[in-house]
Amino acid sequence: MSAALQIPASDFSRHFGRVREAVHKAGVIEVTSHNRVVGAYISADELEHFNRLKRREVQVLHVSEIDDELLTEIENAEYGVISK
């Protein structure tokens, strides 16, 4: 994976129109201040990818939080089959 494009925060705010167009090709543009990344501007495709990954994050439950419905789903789960 190639390094993300970086732009100083001052240029980001002054030239947002250009940055908005450039992000489509770059995917991610890191915004810096004093040579430190302070944020990022991402394309719609990257945002969709990020949201998809966030939905796949593992949820941790304490055993006391598992209700009968979830327990049944776990018992009936098949390895390699994605649940709905």
Alpha helices in 1-84 (DSSP H): 9-14, 16-26, 44-55, 68-76
Could you tell me whether strands 5-8 and 28-33 are parallel, antiparallel, or unpaired per DSSP bridges?
parallel
* C-alpha of 33 from chain center: 22
- Give pLDDT, residue 45: 94
Question: pTM of the full predicted structure?
Answer: 0.63
CB distance 29 to 21 below 8 Å:
no
- Give pLDDT, residue 2: 61
Q: Chunked in runs of 10, what are the mean pLDDT values of the chain (84 residues)?
A: 84 96 95 96 94 84 88 86 68
| Token pair listed for 71 | 């327990």
- Give pLDDT, residue 3: 74
Residue 6 CA to residue 65 CA, distance in Å, equals 44
- Give pLDDT, residue 9: 97
- Give pLDDT, residue 83: 66
